[in-house]
Amino acid sequence: MNAPLEVVILGGGTAGWMAAAALSSLLPPTRCRVRLVESDEIGIVGVGEATLPHIKDFNNSIGVDEAEMMRATNATFKLGIDFVDWGYKGSRYVHPFGAHGGANAGLGFHQLWRRAVDSGRDWDIQEFSFAVMAARANRFDFPAAGHRTINSTFSYAYHFDASLYAQFMRRLCEARGLERIEGKVRDVEQDPQTGDIRALLMESGERVAGDFFIDCSGFRSLLLGSKLDAEWEDWSQWLPCDRAIPVPTERVGDLTPYTRVTAMNAGWRWRIPLQHRTGNGYVFSTRFIDEDEAVEELLQSLDEPTLAEPRLLRFQAGRRKTSWKRNCVALGLSSGFLEPLESTSIYLIQIAIMHLLPLFPTCVHDPRLEAEFNRRMDIEYERIRDFLILHYHLNSRDAAEIWRYCRSMEVPQSLHRKMELFRHSGIIESYKDGLFTPPSWLSVLVGQGLTPEHYHPLAEAQPLERMLADLDELRLEIQERVDEMPKHASFIARYANAQAASEAILHEAEERL
Ligand SMILES: Cc1cc2nc3c(=O)[nH]c(=O)nc-3n(C[C@H](O)[C@H](O)[C@H](O)COP(=O)(O)OP(=O)(O)OC[C@H]3O[C@@H](n4cnc5c(N)ncnc54)[C@H](O)[C@@H]3O)c2cc1C
């Protein structure tokens, strides 16, 4: 048998430690030996607090205990994203992790809803989503098993402290014997003939040699970008935001089980509730506002007192055209960046790892594996790109220039086709690969203000009165089941924060009196 492949991960942010945890847990040590290089002095970007439900599969696959992870990262639950003022000022909708309609509604529920609207009902489609109604009520419980009951129609994710999550992954890896090398990389040694990376040259003089390198060096993209010169694809004509100002605030008031994103004069701001603080930040475009004005606009809009000075992060929307080049794969920020509007970056790290594992090289360089990995990542990036553009493009806000620009910009053909199909008769394309299933597209299309011109004839399978009565019953059932759920704060206190448990339970008991 060949000697195990020597794998070197550069970077110890979320990307680096997730990759280290997955490779060291899921690949046999006879296949590869993994080492991780990072610099405490450089540190990590440390933002990235909102996740998608897929992260549960990742954590499960590497043996993470959910409650332990949540306690260690001050995590809360997330049922979706609350979009405020996006379609137009004063509008509001939740993009939930779940379907609209009852347990057996299938993908065509919105056709029934559209027929109900045609018949004169002014029902908001959101009232038919269990996850939306639970989120609005600040309630949380685990989804019921199976697919038969209304409270089985949703999923959930987490909000967590990203730095603490990276540390959690690090502890897990080190407990399993993974070697971490502290220090700054000064240069990179390449094979003069092939261009393959041979070793990282440390400031300390150490030489860290490897067969295969995973670039998790963040925005610097030290290996894939700087050394291997992988071409950058700029998507800022569709996603013009190029700065973010994160600022944490005190945690005051209800612990909401959702991320809130509010449209602003030159972008949008996030609000992410953690157990110990609230994460906030303004993502904006310097084409439409200058940095000082943006800081001012953000500080004026915050709900709670700040805990630290705002800091400024620069970026450009886009990605490296290839995430795998020669004997190097880039994960996380070093492979590309799409703004955190739909919390997709950690998902992109996870899915890249999941695509990498089955394609993991057995020898140093195999162009077939490289091509297949890149093909899969193209699909992932492009699906997310289109979904993000949809939020900007489909708006009827008039007060600020960025929204007028986005409304009139030409969007990718792939997105144009999706919007037109939906506009005509509510058809939503479903695809096998890539993020965002039809329920997600439905939430955002309708939430941003697009209602299908016609409903599908299949929606007429039942007599109208019967269908309306069923829908009404469903709304009531959702409301009743939501009312039975515990408050999110007391659920967290019981499940993931033993210390606070008694306080929250007492508080809820008082509230119920
Ligand atoms: C404003 C903002 C908000 C975000 N919000 C979300 C969100 O809500 N949800 C989400 O999923 N994602 C979000 N993201 C993305 C998320 O933060 C990143 O995907 C995630 O943190 C991964 O970062 P990383 O590990 O790629 O890079 P980093 O965290 O920057 O880590 C880079 C690592 O490389 C090391 N390194 C760099 N250079 C050297 C060197 N010369 N020598 C040695 N080591 C080196 C550093 O020490 C560090 O360990 C957000 C990003 C931004 C900018």
Whether the pLDDT of residue 41 is over 50: the answer is yes
Q: What is the pLDDT of residues 463-483, one digit of tens each?
A: 999 999 999 999 999 999 999
Among 85, 81, 83, 95, residue whose Cα is nearest residue 403? 85
**CA 136–ligand 1 middle distance (angstroms):** 31
413, two tokens: 């053909």
Residue closest to 261 by CA, chosen among 406, 83, 393: 83
Residue nearest to atom 41 of ligand 1 (CA): 185
| Averaged pLDDT for residues 181-188 | 98
**Residue of the CA atom closest to atom 6 of ligand 1:** 48
Q: Which helix (H) or strand (E) holds 35?
A: strand 32-38
User: Cβ(352)–Cβ(377) under 8 Å?
Assistant: yes
Q: Which of 17, 45, 347, 384 to mutate to test the pocket of ligand 1 (most atoms within 8 A of CB)?
A: 45
CB atoms closer than 10 angstroms to residue 354: 16
pLDDT of residue 240: 97
User: Is there a contact between 45 and 314 (Cβ–Cβ < 8 Å)?
Assistant: no
Mean pLDDT of 153-175: 95
Q: How far is CA 499 from the centre of its chain?
A: 29
Helices marked H in 83-146 = 109-118, 130-136
Other beta carbons less than 10 A from residue 359's beta carbon: 16
Query: Rounded to whole angstroms, how far apart are CA atoms 457 and 68?
Result: 50
Does residue 198 sit in helix, strand or coil?
strand
DSSP states along 358-378 = TT--SSS--HHHHHHHHHHHH
In the reported structure, the alpha carbon of residue 46 is separated from the centroid of ligand 1 by a whole-number distance in angstroms of 6
Task: Give residue-wise pLDDT tens across range 296-323.
Answer: 999 999 989 999 999 999 999 999 999 9
Mean pLDDT of the chain: 93
Q: In whole angstroms, what is the distance from residue 77 CA to residue 80 CA?
A: 9
Longest dimension (CA), the chain: 79
b/e burial code for range 435-451 (CB count within 10 A of at least 16 → b)? bbebbbbbbbbbbbebe
pLDDT for residue 363 = 73
Average pLDDT over residues 80-96: 96
Which secondary-structure segment (H or E) carries 215? Answer: strand 212-215
4 Cβ contact partners less than 8 Å away, ≥ 6 residues apart = 29, 30, 31, 32, 33
What the block records as the tokens of 483 is: 């009312």
Give catalytic residue positions: 78
Between CA 422 and CA 84 the distance in angstroms is 23
**What distance in Å separates the CA atoms of residue 172 and residue 216, rounded to the nearest whole number?**
18
CA-based R_g, the chain, Å? 24
Ligand 1 site residues, Cβ closer than 6 angstroms? 11-16, 37-39, 42-45, 47-51, 162, 184-185, 216-218, 220, 222, 244, 246, 281, 313, 315, 332-334, 340, 343, 345-346
Q: Degrees (nearest 5) of the Cα angle 162, 73, 17?
A: 50
pLDDT band at residue 502 under the 50/70/90 scheme: very low
pLDDT tens digits, 247-290: 999 998 889 999 999 999 999 999 999 999 999 999 999 999 99
**CA 338 to ligand 1 center in whole angstroms:** 13
Q: Which two tokens mark 444? A: 């955002």
Query: CA-to-CA distance for 200 and 87, rounded, in angstroms?
Result: 48
330 C-alpha vs ligand 1 centroid, how far in Å?
A: 12
pLDDT in tens, 369-420: 999 999 999 999 999 999 999 999 999 988 899 999 999 999 999 999 999 9
- Residue 12: pLDDT above 70? yes
Residues contacting residue 470 through CB under 8 Å, at least 6 positions apart: 462
How is residue 328 written in tokens? 């190097």
| Mean predicted confidence (pLDDT) in 428-443 | 89
* Burial class of 4 by CB neighbour count within 10 A (0 to 12, 13 to 18, 19+): middle
Calculate ∠ Cα 305-267-293, nearest 5°: 60
Mean local confidence (pLDDT), 27-36: 91
pLDDT at 107 over 90: no
